[in-house]
């Protein structure tokens, strides 16, 4: 058995050390003593000697190729003492915890994260964050990326979502569940913050002009002229004759006049004014 235990005298003026007892699950740092064929021994200082072995060693063996004597390494404590008296360590466990800690910090600070979209299903987009699978639900897409599909046909929605595969998107981390490995992303969080600032220059009763960006069974989306703000004209605000066949009477790209009737929670609701050349007071 390798012995790296150190005796520390409380009366030694050169060594006034206070040792906090290690805990299972704790991430600690140590220096490599030696790497053998099926085990790695780590000097953990005053608390003793750690060992990475068995299944854990073989899982990270390729990552240890460039690790040599004296190199620093981070590991997670799996057991405080195995049958041979060593502190059992996990390197992959430490890596996972450090990654989740980093993701938690990004979530709390609302730091933007750029992800490459790797796939799509009818519920949203798949990506990876720090090598871990993550999901961007349709409901968390920015408004200009939201698939405005008449009738909400799932197959058509999927077809629209597949257009994002291979693209980079800037997102925020909305929710984390380390126990289940769940990472939920949001693209619209940043958009909402930006929109709150943009909406400060608009007020209820204001006439605006814009172009139609989507026609849905529940209303018409309009993007304001000279701005990225979108508003919704609910179907209840559309004349009976016009709403009998929305997709025929209103086309994407058409210009409309509208009046702001409500602003709240980052959303703008409009009423339909006379159709024709749009105008804006902004």
**Residues 10-27: pLDDT tens digits?**
344 454 555 678 889 888
Q: Phi/psi of residue 64, each to 5°? A: -95, 0
Can you tell me the mean pLDDT for 132-148?
90
**Residues in CB range of 45: below 8 A, 6 or more apart:** 6, 30
% of the chain with per-residue pLDDT over 70: 90
Q: Give the burial class of 149: count Cβ atoms within 10 A of its Cβ; 0-12 exposed, 13-18 middle, 19 or more buried.
A: middle
15-29 exposure pattern, b = at least 16 Cβ within 10 A, e = fewer: eeeeeeeeeeeeebe
Could you check whether 110-187 and 202-272 share the same CATH topology? yes
Question: Which SS3 state, helix, strand or coil, does residue 12 take?
Answer: coil
CB 176 within 8 A of CB 130: no
Q: Which two tokens stand for residue 249?
A: 């009477």
pTM value? 0.56
Q: How far apart are CA 218 and CA 24, in angstroms?
A: 55
For the domain spanning 27-95, the CATH number is 2.40.50.140
The sign one gets for the Cα dihedral 202, 205, 206, 207 is positive
Q: Which of 103, 40, 112 is nearest to 72 (CA)?
A: 40
157-198 pLDDT, tens digit each: 999 999 999 999 999 999 999 888 899 999 988 777 777 888
Question: Which SS3 state, helix, strand or coil, does residue 77 take?
Answer: strand
CB 235 within 8 A of CB 243: yes
Can you tell me the mean pLDDT for 49-53?
93
Query: For 110-187, which CATH superfamily applies?
Result: Nucleic acid-binding proteins (2.40.50.140)
CB 224 within 8 A of CB 208: yes
Class of domain 202-272: mainly beta
CB 136 within 8 A of CB 147: no
Can you tell me the mean pLDDT for 99-118?
92
Domain ranges, ordered by start, for the chain: 27-95, 110-187, 202-272
pLDDT at 212 over 50: yes
């Amino acid at each position: 058995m390798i012995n790296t235990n150190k005796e520390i005298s409380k009366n030694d003026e050169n060594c006034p050390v206070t040792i906090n007892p290690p805990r299972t699950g704790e991430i600690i740092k140590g220096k490599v003593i030696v790497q053998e064929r099926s085990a790695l021994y780590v000097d953990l200082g005053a608390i003793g000697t750690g060992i990475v072995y068995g299944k854990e060693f073989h899982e990270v063996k390729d990552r240890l190729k460039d690790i040599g004597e004296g190199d620093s390494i981070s590991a997670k404590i799996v057991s405080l003492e195995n049958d041979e008296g060593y502190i059992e360590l996990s390197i992959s466990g430490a890596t996972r915890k450090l990654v989740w800690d980093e993701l938690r910090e990004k979530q709390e600070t609302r730091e933007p994260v750029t992800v490459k979209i790797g796939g799509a299903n009818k519920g949203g987009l798949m990506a990876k964050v720090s090598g871990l699978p993550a999901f961007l639900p349709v409901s968390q897409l920015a408004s200009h990326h939201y698939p405005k599909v008449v009738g909400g046909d799932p197959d058509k929605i999927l077809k629209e979502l597949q257009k994002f595969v291979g693209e980079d998107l800037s997102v925020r981390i909305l929710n984390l569940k380390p126990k289940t490995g769940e990472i939920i992303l949001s693209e619209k969080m940043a958009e909402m913050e930006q929109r709150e600032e943009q909406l400060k220059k608009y007020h209820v009763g204001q006439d605006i002009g814009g172009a139609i960006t989507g026609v849905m069974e529940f209303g018409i989306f309009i993007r304001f002229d000279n701005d990225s703000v979108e508003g919704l004209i609910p179907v209840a605000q559309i004349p009976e004759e016009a709403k009998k066949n929305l997709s025929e009477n209103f086309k994407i790209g058409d210009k409309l006049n509208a009046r702001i009737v409500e602003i709240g929670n980052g959303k703008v609701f409009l009423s339909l004014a006379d159709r024709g050349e749009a105008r804006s007071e902004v």
